[in-house]
Amino acid sequence: MGTEPGQEIDPISWLDHYGDTLYRFARARVKDSFTAEDLVQETLLAAYRSRKKFSGRSTLKTWLIGILRHKVVDYYRKLKPEQSEEDLDAYASGLDNLFDVKEKWLVKPGDWGGDPKNVYERKELMDAIHACLDDMPKRFSLAYTLRELQGVTTQELCEFLQTGKNNCWVILYRARMLLRRCLEVNWFNTEK
């Protein structure tokens, strides 16, 4: 410790050296810049308060990012939805209409085209994804966002949702089904 720039125990120098890195990390995970700025601030404060815990085994940057990662999850936790399981079941029951009684596809998945590269550079697709996620019950969109955007493990996700593994998979399944259906209708327009 103490030789590399920003390694000293001074939160102001952390801000100078890693502020932008932390900001970009946060910005990629939350929707608006104000929230991202707040998260950077909370991270630096928390880091300073627990500075004794920094062992020097990881780099300072890794340590700060680790704290930030937790702050992002906390942020999503506060958005935590209050919908009953029954409401969620009712909402998701519409998915059953995609299949016939023999559980074969009734509403056939469209061909979205082969190469995502052509599409994913478009900011609009991301906007469409966000719009679809905003439309579905929070518990689904939250689970999906944490898993696919935040990259949390399923175990962490189940703890976060405070539910058993099986239910966790059901929630993710429903979120994926709702998202792909929503995009199909609103973005890909593969309906005949």
Contacting residues toward another protein, per CB under 8 A: 11-12, 15, 19-20, 23-25, 27-29, 33, 37, 40-41, 44-45, 48-49, 99, 102-105, 108-112, 116, 119-120, 125-126, 129, 147-149, 154, 169, 172-173, 176-177, 179-180, 183
90 or 119, CB closer to another protein? 119
Measured from the Cβ of residue 180, the count of other Cβ atoms closer than 10 Å reads 16
1 or 126, CB closer to another protein? 126
Q: Are 44 and 23 contacting, i.e. CB atoms less than 8 angstroms apart? A: no
Q: Are 8 and 60 contacting, i.e. CB atoms less than 8 angstroms apart? A: no
Give the angle subtended at the CA of 188 by the CAs of 135 and 87, to the nearest 5°: 25
Distance of closest approach, residue 78 Cβ to another protein, in angstroms = 20
Picking from 26, 4, 30, 28, the residue whose alpha carbon sits closest to that of residue 17 is 4
Distance of closest approach, residue 30 Cβ to another protein, in angstroms = 11
137 or 174, CB closer to another protein? 174
